[in-house]
Amino acid sequence: MSTSPRSGFSLVELSIVLVILGLLVGGILTGQALMRAAEIRKIATSSERINSGAHAFRDKYLGLPGDLKNATQFWGAIHGTQSTCIATASPDNKATCNGDGDGYVNKSMAYSDTGYERYHYWLHLANAGLIEGSYTGLTATTGAFGPATGVNQPETGVSNSSWYAASVNVDARNNAHPNYFARQYAYAMQLGLSANGQKILLPEEAWNIDSKLDDGSPVTGRVFSYKTTGTWHPNCTTSDTVTATYNMAVKDRVCNVDIGIQ
């Protein structure tokens, strides 16, 4: 009885297959790295566009977006009663509410107080034609913090993340805030979705953004991050609250940055 000869892969053929698989995996990883690098660059460029737009807004309207006390003179009012106005979405993503004009983009936990300014910030900038998109000016959920990317806040360039506008005011004399390093800005853009942002950056990526736009330090300058001892972004920075650096040894996404508007 004759038998058919068995066939199989030779060592050379197996080696070729392994090399091809290695090239494919390497190509995929390289592609992912390039895509991520592009996202980080987009964060830097979009923040500078918003920064420029905010400057132009102040020059034209003599006030801060969101905080502008006569905004309805330019774009109409959502409602004549302020308490109803701030609790209602802009029907045409144009009509708005007046800010309190105190020189800060407030993020009060009481949305019925001045917390609405963080969302009308983007509505005012878009109304003025200084940023792309259209925004509702309203929290997307019940309560003070209800961000929705592309609905009430613009996207940053990183998937599922948007810019958040808020005042940052921590007493530089005592550096007492549990999460912030000492600093004071009338308003800043925070990378993330909510009041304490999101853990969306590697420390190395946060340093990269900080270095492109500022001085590379999480403590000083207009780009800043958070204390490692706090609850918002532990392990993003080293422990000293005066000389902290980005914790490059950590390879997880534990960071976020704020960018002060100058």
Asked if pLDDT for residue 176 goes beyond 80, the answer is no
Give tens-digit pLDDT for 135-154: 999 888 755 567 788 888 89
Q: Answer with the residue of higher pLDDT: 171 or 212.
A: 212
Residue 175 pLDDT level (bands cut at 50, 70, 90): low
Q: Which of 37-41, 75-79, 144-148 has the lowest mean pLDDT?
A: 144-148
CA distance 49 to 95: 23
Residue 109 pLDDT level (bands cut at 50, 70, 90): very low
Chain mean pLDDT for the chain: 82
Asked if pLDDT for residue 198 goes beyond 80, the answer is no
Averaged pLDDT for residues 51-68: 94
Which neighbouring-strand residues pair with 164?
A: 190
pLDDT at 147: 79
Give tens-digit pLDDT for 8-30: 667 776 777 777 877 777 777 67
Q: Which of 62-71, 90-99, 109-118 has the lowest mean pLDDT?
A: 109-118
List the chain domain ranges: 47-154, 156-262
Report yes or no: 97 and 71 within 8 Å, Cβ to Cβ: yes
